[in-house]
């Protein structure tokens, strides 16, 4: 028990396992969200149509394909910084296109099932996944893929 307490109270400041876990989490979420856009029209083309995106069929398919491929790239740790940068842009667009109208109560998407349904409280509740994905993507831009990645393997800096 003493060893566990010491381990909890003295976390490492440069832990490659943490970067791997974050890559797996973010990559996995992007990957399955991309698959869901193809599997369920209300998540893909239907959602993009309601939000007013131009050419919603093409846009939804492109975003879904990017999420699947980009998610796999994050999981593998390949082209991590570029992929994370593109995901930051995607998450900013997602937040701007869905959360402003939710705040104003004019969202074309279904409102949350439980109160608060509009306003700042609704945004805080509904933004949690977007916020987490955005911040993990920013982290990966700053820190890179870590040593347990294909980026590191191909860099030639093996220790």
How many Å apart are CA 74 and CA 71, to the nearest integer? 5
How many Å apart are CA 102 and CA 153, to the nearest integer? 44
Model-level pTM? 0.88
Could you tell me if 104 and 51 are in contact, meaning their C-beta atoms sit under 8 angstroms apart? no
How many Å apart are CA 117 and CA 122, to the nearest integer? 5
**pLDDT tens digit sequence for 8-37:** 888 666 678 889 999 999 999 999 999 999
Structure-derived torsion over alpha carbons of residues 8, 9, 11, 17, reported in degrees to the nearest 10: 0
The pLDDT assigned to 132 comes to 97
């Amino acid at each position: 028990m003493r060893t566990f307490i010491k381990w909890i109270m003295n976390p490492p400041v440069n832990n490659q396992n943490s970067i791997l876990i974050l890559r797996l989490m973010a990559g996995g979420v992007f990957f399955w969200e991309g698959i869901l856009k193809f599997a369920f029209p209300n998540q893909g083309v239907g959602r993009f149509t309601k939000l007013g995106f131009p050419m919603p069929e093409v846009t939804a398919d492109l975003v879904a394909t990017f999420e699947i491929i980009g998610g796999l790239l994050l999981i593998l740790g390949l082209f991590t910084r570029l992929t994370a940068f593109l995901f930051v842009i995607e998450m900013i667009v997602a937040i701007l296109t869905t959360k402003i109208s939710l705040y104003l109560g004019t969202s074309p998407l279904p409102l949350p099932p439980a109160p608060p349904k509009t306003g700042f409280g609704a945004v805080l509740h509904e933004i949690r996944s977007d916020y987490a994905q955005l911040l993990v993507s920013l982290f990966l831009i700053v820190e890179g893929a870590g040593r347990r990645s294909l980026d590191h393997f191909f860099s030639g800096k093996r220790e």
